[in-house]
Structure 1
């Protein structure tokens, strides 16, 4: 007896007609002979043929039986349903989620492993690199009006001749910076940088001169050599990107020339929203002392924390908020004498936001300076073309066996605030990993050219207005370095991202200055140095 599986061949269709397969049929002689087996034949069946009823009647009695394959499938389905009843839906969902999580973890580990292999292969093939760069800054400063006390300070010299109240400061035209630098990388994870300033050809100055190790754990880099101490936001900004020609009074006074020989670690989190640096530095400046020698080991520990909890990525960084906190503990050699191989680094001084010959605010070297500390606060708020920036630095000093009339605890402090605005719509970019300002890119560069049609083409570049207020107090406890309140109005014209012109108008007053009395001793009784007016222009290019 034939089974239903043998009688029916499902899914065989010829056009829209059903196809019946019968074991008694013989192969046809039409074109389908080669396609059909010797046991079965297939012929179209239509209702009008009158064969359907006869064929159905000729089917065996057991044709209605369920096919064996379907019976097996039914049994399997029943078993699965029974097993599913024993297991809750939540359990199955948890198991599925667990497997997905394990798969994701495995995929991440595999991706990391592949990345490591690629990085390793690249590092092995990589060679040392070298990049050559530089900058040229040309200044002109005009000292339009100065009072008698200012003249004494500018023409005098600490420990030397007294100043002349009738001798006003001379106008100055000079290279402010004339730097060449080389930098690069060395396999597997090292970097280097050497920068020399030839602004005074007779005495070139070493600026950056260091080697370092990159890609350390926790996104850290270790630097050994001459580098900037992490104190003062405006000092850490590159001179290429600063809004004003000269750095603020407090920043320069408490971190004079910024760079010292040291060992420092730099790092940041993965999002670059929180960053840090810490290190130990020699207090002596190699450009003035020549070598780091002597048994005094004048040194200081410096650190800086900063973050950018708000940074608008969607606008390309046109909006952000930066905060920073810096600190230092330093041990100068307050007992260094004229015959010693090192100088006493316990002093604070700065110029009047212009390139004068002398520092108009100056404590001189404080005899007996034993320890001093710095605490600095930073803030930047950038809203599109508008930026508001400020800092304040506190500097207490402890003195051992002070000079006559000088207290054994001194306190100096100062800060600034400024606002800047782009008339042409640009913004001040910000580097989150360093916590400093970055390169401005004008919407259009400045140019003026003749066109082939006889017309002229031009671009205006970027224009920026800025205003800053500075305060510095270096007078306390018998040390009369002066109190300064200065104002700066700035107009910057960015020709390209790599060139610009800065114009600064500086005015203000210096009071409570011992130097203003004779121009040679900050321990003299303090007097009012007076007012002044200065105008400066700087042409800048870097490459």
Structure 2
């Protein structure tokens, strides 16, 4: 047998070694001053050692033969069931990735990611000197936000964000979601569905402030329950909302809905949408629509209606956009009707804009996803030795707050912007705006409410 042959070979090797070792030891000790035993005694001791070693090897060989026989018998019978494998520590170890900030994912569906943004604005507003209004240089910390988001096992998700601008903590987003296929349910404080311009994050806007009508008509996040369904190029959104959490408790409520059709034709992304806003206001409510000249760091509002007693609001909007390579274009229009007790007809105010933009750098394009604009990722960022992404944009921005005897002013705004995105998470925006006002809230000394203003704004941004 193989094991017996191995044992025999091992025995001969050990015996040879045992013979050589004493001889070697005797040769080494020959030059020593210590007197050694007689050769006859050494030979007798050596023979005794060899005999003992041979007995031990014979016993070992018998044991190996028995082991080999038992293995042969076991091969003919079924092998015993394997013990359950211990849980893999690798599967239980959280996996961490990095995209602007660390994201931790746990096996089973948990994830956690911090995020935030910092917007610092500065610039000039130039109003007619005869108005005697506060203009000139100004600056502000426009946004300083921190938040967390992630997934929960079972198709759930969460997001919470706080804005610390001005030294006070203001809750922006705070909601949970449930996703099942193309359906997403959202509960909590989040954006209702009043157009592409409003739903696009301020991090990706082509101007440092959104179109005038979005701020004038009071678009903001509200507490509510909503649903979104997506199927290919079609997306439907709708929900029931009350007020912003900072204004609660309140009895106001609204129904908001939006539909989007976004087909792709070759390399060109198209976008068409419409939205509705129907709000019921609690008794004694008032509204006031007003707007700054493009930038937020001025407190002047050349457009402003008086305070209006209001029972209901009804808004309707349309939107369209196109994205093709370096080019993009988009336009929106929104009508806001207010039910005013004791006034007939009810006033309807209007706002809208048209925009076109182009990337000067090869390979760069504006991001688009799920019915809104998204992040620009430079094809060759400065961190990779490139120039970053450079974009120019032109916009015409119109707002009319004059109707049914209410004079809140009219605006024709002509805007231009230059945007530099050096890396995926940094951005510099320079805006210029020329605004022409009629029926403005401020009158010149001669009584005229028709005058012009110029504005320059700069924003530095970091987000993660």
Q: Does TM, scored on the shorter chain, surpass 0.5?
A: yes
Residue matched to 1:259: 221
Which of 345, 363, 387 in structure 1 is aligned with 2:328? 387
Structure 1 residue 129, shift from structure 2 partner = 2.2
Contact 1:400 1:408 in 2 (8 A): no
Mark the CA change 1:268 to 1:255 in structure 2 (over 3 Å): closer, same or farther.
farther
| Residues 1:428 and 2:366 aligned together | yes
| Residues 1:168 and 2:150 aligned together | no
Q: How far apart in 2 are the matches of 1:323 and 1:197?
A: 32
Structure 1 residue 329, shift from structure 2 partner = 0.9
Gapped regions of structure 2 (runs ≥ 5):
1-104
Q: How far apart in 2 are the matches of 1:171 and 1:436?
A: 33
Secondary structure of the 2:198 match is helix
**What do residues 89-143 of structure 1 show as CA deviations (whole Å, max 9, x unaligned)?**
xxxxxxxxxxxxxxxxxxxxxxxxxxxxxxxxxx996153221010111111211
Secondary structure of the 1:389 match is strand
Residue matched to 1:418: 355
Q: How far apart in 2 are the matches of 1:311 and 1:185?
A: 33
Residue matched to 1:44: none
Structure 1 residue 458, shift from structure 2 partner = 4.3
Mark the CA change 1:428 to 1:537 in structure 2 (over 3 Å): closer, same or farther.
same
Residue matched to 1:213: 178
| Residues 1:445 and 2:426 aligned together | no
Q: How far apart in 1 are the matches of 2:288 and 2:134?
A: 26
Which of 98, 104, 110 in structure 2 is aligned with 1:128? 110
Coordinate RMSD, CA, aligned: 2.3
Matched residue pairs, number? Answer: 357
**What do residues 178-230 of structure 1 show as CA deviations (whole Å, max 9, x unaligned)?**
110101122212111110111211x2221101112121xx6111111110111
**What do residues 309-332 of structure 1 show as CA deviations (whole Å, max 9, x unaligned)?**
2254xx5xxx21100111111112
Mark the CA change 1:281 to 1:471 in structure 2 (over 3 Å): closer, same or farther.
same
Give the alignment of 1:66-215 within 5 angstroms: 126=108, 128-143=110-125, 145-147=126-128, 165-201=131-167, 203-215=168-180
Q: How far apart in 2 are the matches of 1:476 and 1:492?
A: 37
Contact 2:127 2:133 in 1 (8 A): no
Q: How far apart in 2 are the matches of 1:348 and 1:539?
A: 29
| Residues 1:306 and 2:288 aligned together | no
Gapped regions of structure 1 (runs ≥ 5):
1-122, 150-164, 337-343, 448-456, 520-525
Residue matched to 2:94: none
Mark the CA change 1:124 to 1:487 in structure 2 (over 3 Å): closer, same or farther.
closer
Which of 370, 374, 392 in structure 1 is aligned with 2:311? 370
Contact 2:195 2:274 in 1 (8 A): no
Structure 1 residue 334, shift from structure 2 partner = 5.7
**What do residues 479-507 of structure 1 show as CA deviations (whole Å, max 9, x unaligned)?**
21110111111000110111110000011
Mark the CA change 1:527 to 1:231 in structure 2 (over 3 Å): closer, same or farther.
farther
Secondary structure of the 1:481 match is strand
Which of 196, 201, 211 in structure 2 is aligned with 1:238? 201
Structure 1 residue 517, shift from structure 2 partner = 4.0
Q: How far apart in 2 are the matches of 1:263 and 1:177?
A: 26
Contact 1:140 1:537 in 2 (8 A): yes
TM-score by length of 2: 0.73
Structure 1 residue 305, shift from structure 2 partner = 0.2
TM-score by length of 1: 0.62
Which of 293, 299, 304 in structure 2 is aligned with 1:357? 299
